[in-house]
């Protein structure tokens, strides 16, 4: 964190860039790092917190290795998006807004992935997958399982608070 902060002067308009670099390096912005940013910029922790929770790009809890976003927007909804979400939930064993206990998967519900013509759509990490059906979900999760060494999570889940974000995909988390 010190290394990140050393690249900045400490002016308030550096808040977003600092948070972006922190998010990129650590995968999330812990409470401790949030406090460090506040101290560095001489602003309140609540100010930093409000920014972190406003933008969907920031997370307050550790995320899974594979981030799965299932679109529930209108186009996807009318073409079976809810069913796709259910299949994914059953396959990885967590609910939207949760991260598996082994930190292999995080699942999010999103409003639109910008690929409505391919509905129903889901996104895995940076890849968009369209015209999803049960077989394609099965194959995709199976492939992720091979990558991760397992295909289904079990045990205690990490819950995250979800609220509307400024941009889609919208998901914000409260946590450590
Ligand atoms: S509504 Fe699903 S991609 Fe637009």
DSSP sequence for the chain: -HHHHTTS---GGGHHHHHHHHHHHHSS--HHHHHHHHHHHT--HHHHHHHHHHSTT--SSPPPSEEEEEE-SHHHHHTTHHHHHHHHHHHH---TTEE-TTSSEEEEEES--S-GGG-S-EEETTEEE-S--HHHHHHHHHHHHHHHT-S---S--EE------SSSS-------
> What is the CA(161)–ligand 1 centre distance, in A?
23
Please check whether residue 145 is in contact with residue 139, taking contact to mean a CB–CB distance below 8 angstroms: no
> What is the CA(118)–ligand 1 centre distance, in A?
8
User: What are the structural domain ranges in the chain?
Assistant: 2-54, 66-159
- Segment-wise mean pLDDT, segments of 10 residues, the chain, 176 residues: 92 95 91 95 95 90 92 96 95 92 92 95 94 94 72 45 39 40
Please check whether residue 128 is in contact with residue 136, taking contact to mean a CB–CB distance below 8 angstroms: no
| CATH architecture for the domain at 2-54 | Orthogonal Bundle (1.10)
Ligand 1, atom nearest to 112 Cα: 4
Predicted structure pTM score: 0.72
Sequence-ordered list of residues with C-beta below 8 angstroms from that of 89, at least 6 positions apart, any chain: 95, 96, 107
pLDDT of residue 147: 64
Q: Which two tokens stand for residue 130?
A: 């369209």
| 66-159: in CATH 3.30.990.10 | no
Ligand 1 site: residues with CB under 6 angstroms? 71, 73-76, 112-116, 119, 121
> What is the CA(56)–ligand 1 centre distance, in A?
17
């Amino acid at each position: 964190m010190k290394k990140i902060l050393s690249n900045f002067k400490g002016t308030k308009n550096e808040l977003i860039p600092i948070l972006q670099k922190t998010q990129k390096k650590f995968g999330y912005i812990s409470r401790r790092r949030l406090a460090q940013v506040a101290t560095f910029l001489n602003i309140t922790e609540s100010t930093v917190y409000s920014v972190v929770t406003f933008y969907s790009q920031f997370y307050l809890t550790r995320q899974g290795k594979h981030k799965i976003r299932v679109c529930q927007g209108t186009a996807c909804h009318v073409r079976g998006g809810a069913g796709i979400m259910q299949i994914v939930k059953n396959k990885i064993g967590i609910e939207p807004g949760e991260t598996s206990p082994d930190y292999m998967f995080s699942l999010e519900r999103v409003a639109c992935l910008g690929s409505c013509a391919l509905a129903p759509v889901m996104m895995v990490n940076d890849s968009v997958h369209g015209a999803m059906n049960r077989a394609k979900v099965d194959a995709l999760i199976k492939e992720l399982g091979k990558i991760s060494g397992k295909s289904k999570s079990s045990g205690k889940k990490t819950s995250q608070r979800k609220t509307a974000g400024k941009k889609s995909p919208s998901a914000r988390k409260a946590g450590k």
